[in-house]
Structure 1
Amino acid sequence: MDNSQSALFDLAEPENTPLYEAQDFPFYHGAQYLAEHGFIADDWVPVLRPLDLKLRAIAIDLAARSSSGEHLLPAPNVMLRALQIPLAKVKVVAIGQDPYPTVGHAIGLAFAAEASVRPLPRSLANIYKELESDCGIERAAHADLSSWHTQGVLLLNQALSVSAGNAGAHLKIGWTEVIEAVVAALNERATPPVALLWGKHAQKMAPLMDRMPQLASAHPSPLSASRGFFGSKPFSKINRLLTESGEQPIDWKIPEV
């Protein structure tokens, strides 16, 4: 999500703000702990272990923010959910900015939201519109993209947390180093995944993905979708690239829940 989209969300003051301590963030305990408890796939451990101190510092920072009254999103146990896909099985990496800042929306996957969220986030509604135009797939009624995630689509935000009602609030708290390490590991694979870069903020990461096939366009936000996102046909292009590299294409249809 781009900072310019703040006005597209319900930014009402959240109620019942949860209070977290540093130990409540699973990554406070390090990469090995994350893998042993199912928060990330095992093959991410060598990537994240050198960042154990950074992850602990982020957890301490987030706990301090929580104690000062910030409503942190999403819940600590899903902040690293995207990395439950094994490094070796990532087929596509789609770069977002940060989680939706509306309480009840963020689920730890970029562009996705809880299945119960209505109306759909506007960027996601435009993604579904382009998917229908590109592949003839009927627009889904819900916002949960777990079916893409389980097929190897890494829906990765550049910050893995946000303050409710304050889009972009955590972009400079240390997540950048973590995300760059993740992207570098993907870029170094023998067969790198396809990079999906929607919007200028995501496209800043292009130099770190120099070995990946890259698909870049405008962001699907209502503020920019008509300036190059619509008609970009990313889904069929991704499947063509995957097929050409001997990979199974993605089934983009969102199942009902």
Structure 2
Amino acid sequence: MPFTSGIPLSSSIAGDWADLLAPEADRIHRIGDELQRRINAGEHILPPPAHILRAFTQPAEQVKVLVIGQDPYPTPGHAVGLSFSVDPGVRPLPRSLVNIYKELKADLGIEPAQHGDLSAWANQGVLLLNRALSVTAGQANSHRNLGWEPVTELAVRSLAARRHPDGSPLPLVAILWGRQAQSLAPLLGGLPRIESAHPSPLSASRGFFGSRPFSRANELLVQQGATPVDWRLPGVR
């Protein structure tokens, strides 16, 4: 793993992601060293270091839906390295995730899962990527200027640049919830995207509810010749 530094950010990043993110390897080294310095000083960093790059453990070539989040949940025990997802044992669920489940039911009739583990989506090629990949416990947005943004921007550009041998783009749908996610739209070129308000309690009623992102994403995937996502999660009520 080429990004190992003073802190074990990840031991299982997919090989094609390692190649795609190589231009930012030095920056990732520096962030890892800074996080280790902060941990040594007693700062509680989330998610656990080995999960910070978890979004990149599934191969880039398999990504067909991109969901952009802001930064990891700042509540200890919640952040797992996938945007909007939490550990299966977390109760109560974060309110943003509750709203995502509400829209999922309204859109596709899927009952909310009993847990907040979204890894079943990730395993199907849904990249759950935060703009910043770490946070200080209890302090939302605290790592916003740590240096993660160029790394995640490179990830988005790399996905948009993927091509078939004939030069056509690989299937991809971007789901951009909120202003921070939508700021990445120019990096996607002409690839299809679904934009709405963020699912947080502060904004969900201003355009997230009723936006039907799940069915629309599947329709756009089918139009591109890709298999739709099964948005059901194990363990429904």
- Whether the TM-score (by the shorter chain) exceeds 0.5 is yes
For the 8 Å contact 1:148–1:252, the answer to whether it is kept is yes
Deviation at 1:25, TM superposition (A): 2.3
Unaligned runs of 5+ in 2: 164-169
Matched, 1:137 2:110: yes
Aligned to 1:25: 8
Deviation at 1:26, TM superposition (A): 3.4
Matched, 1:216 2:195: yes
Which TM-score applies when normalising by structure 1? 0.85
Structure 1 segments of 4 or more deviating over 2 A?
A: 22-27
Aligned to 1:195: 174
SS of residue in 1 equivalent to 2:21:
helix
Question: Which of 38, 52, 59 is the matching residue for 1:86?
Answer: 59
Aligned amino acid, residue 152 of structure 2: I
Aligned to 2:185: 206
Question: Which of 29, 48, 69 is the matching residue for 1:75?
Answer: 48
Structure 1 pair 72–195 and aligned structure 2 pair: CA distance change class (3 A): same
SS of residue in 2 equivalent to 1:24:
coil
Kindly report which structure 2 residues correspond to 1:30-45, keeping only aligned pairs within 5 A, or say none.
37=11, 39-45=12-18
Aligned amino acid, residue 210 of structure 2: G
Query: C-alpha separation between the residues in 2 aligned to 1:147 and 1:207?
Result: 29
1:84-109 CA distance string (max 9 Å, x none): 12111101010001000000001100
Aligned to 1:238: 217
Deviation at 1:247, TM superposition (A): 0.7
Aligned to 1:170: 143
SS of residue in 2 equivalent to 1:26:
coil
Query: C-alpha separation between the residues in 1 aligned to 2:113 and 2:72?
Result: 20
Identity of aligned residues (%): 54
Query: C-alpha separation between the residues in 2 aligned to 1:131 and 1:108?
Result: 22
Aligned amino acid, residue 75 of structure 2: T
Aligned to 1:248: 227
Deviation at 1:192, TM superposition (A): 4.6
Say how many residue pairs are matched. 227
For the 8 Å contact 1:51–1:178, the answer to whether it is kept is yes
Deviation at 1:23, TM superposition (A): 2.5
Query: C-alpha separation between the residues in 2 aligned to 1:211 and 1:83?
Result: 24
SS of residue in 1 equivalent to 2:128:
strand
1:136-190 CA distance string (max 9 Å, x none): 0011110000000000000000111000000001111111111111111001012
For the 8 Å contact 1:98–1:110, the answer to whether it is kept is yes
For the 8 Å contact 1:93–1:193, the answer to whether it is kept is yes
Aligned to 1:118: 91
Structure with greater helix share of residues: 1
